[in-house]
Amino acid sequence: MLYLIGLGLKVNHLTLEAIETIKKCDNVFVEVYTSQYAEGVIRELKELTGKNILELNRVEIEQKFESALLSAGKNNIGLLIFGNPLTATTHIQLLLDAKEKGIKFKIIPGISITNMVAESGLDEYKFGRTITICYHTKGFEPESFYDQLKENQKMGLHTLALLDIKKNQIPQMMMNSKEAIEVLEKIAEKRNEHLNLNYIALIGMSSEKQKIIVGKEEIINSKEIFEIFPQTLIIAGKLNEKEKEVIEKLYNKKIE
């Protein structure tokens, strides 16, 4: 049996079902390229479950996981995924591969950043399609996420923006909220467009250092954006009166 197991945003987010499943697995792996814990480390996970957990990067998951997958025909194989499984297309492909090989699989859900967006004060039901803001490097400057943001804005919907992470290089890089805003503004400038958006940064959500920062200037001038990870950026759409009230009272920021 192949198990895809959600780790949540910190060690204490593991469900009883997840812990019991990990303990009964013959081999346990964790992918370390899509995100990381907001609080805690893999060592604590090993101590909690009593299992040796092998860390795998993107290449190892996409190209070298096949032997482990094949062994799931006779053994219990667990792949641990930060947040909730199946958010990344790589993990969905694993299910397709398992199905093709006649291997049974089960999904063990975990807490995701999408479960935290309501803490911003925005209505969870008013979010449009999620985007991922990517680093712009020489020869790689995608803009499709910007187009989707504009579509959400046209419909008055909020946008949850996941931020790029590059863990297969030295030094490792995790995009912060200021960098994400700069990428959006760079694209807007290239298109001769003017951005007048309301930003909310979710920083280290579920950790003791969790912080929610409302407003572009407040985000840019915050020292926490360089210290606390992972981060997610919300670009607000059209706010209703209750959303405005909640944000003003919880975060002392009046936005329109």
Q: What CATH number corresponds to the domain at position 199? A: 3.30.950.10
CATH of the domain at 83: 3.40.1010.10
Q: Which residues contact 48 (CB under 8 A, 6 or more apart)?
A: 11, 14, 19
Write down the pTM of the prediction.
0.91
Q: Is residue 16 part of a domain?
A: yes
pLDDT at 171: 67
Q: Are residues 237 and 122 in the same domain?
A: yes
pLDDT at 198: 97
Where a domain ends, among 111, 137, 153?
111
d(CA 14, CA 236): 30
Domain count, the chain: 2
Q: Are residues 52 and 6 in the same domain?
A: yes
Q: Are residues 123 and 231 in the same domain?
A: yes
Q: Are residues 97 and 40 in the same domain?
A: yes
pLDDT at 169: 66
Q: Are residues 156 and 227 in the same domain?
A: yes
Q: Are residues 130 and 246 in the same domain?
A: yes
Residue-by-residue pLDDT tens, the chain, 256 positions: 999 999 999 989 999 999 999 999 999 999 887 788 887 788 888 999 999 998 888 888 877 788 888 888 899 999 999 999 987 777 888 899 999 999 999 999 999 999 999 999 999 999 999 999 999 988 899 999 999 999 999 999 999 999 998 866 656 789 999 999 999 999 999 999 999 999 999 999 999 999 999 999 999 999 999 999 999 999 999 999 999 999 999 999 988 7
Q: Are residues 145 and 72 in the same domain?
A: no
Q: Is residue 59 part of a domain?
A: yes
Three-class secondary structure of residue 226 per DSSP: helix
Q: Which domain holds residue 25?
A: 2-111
Where a domain ends, among 111, 130, 153?
111
Q: Are residues 100 and 124 in the same domain?
A: no
d(CA 37, CA 113): 11
Q: Is residue 144 part of a domain?
A: yes
pLDDT at 256: 73
Three-class secondary structure of residue 132 per DSSP: strand
pLDDT at 110: 93
pLDDT at 167: 67
Where a domain ends, among 111, 128, 153?
111
Q: Are residues 206 and 241 in the same domain?
A: yes
Supply 151's token pair.
């579509």
d(CA 183, CA 60): 29
Q: Are residues 33 and 153 in the same domain?
A: no
**165-166 and 173-174 strand pairing:** antiparallel
Q: Is residue 17 part of a domain?
A: yes
pLDDT at 16: 95
Q: Is residue 256 part of a domain?
A: no
Q: Which residues contact 234 (CB under 8 A, 6 or more apart)?
A: 117, 120, 122, 158, 159, 160, 161, 199, 200, 201, 202
CA dihedral for 194, 138, 222, 39, sign (positive or negative):
positive
Say if residue 48 is exposed, middle or buried (CB neighbours under 10 Å; 0-12, 13-18, 19+). middle
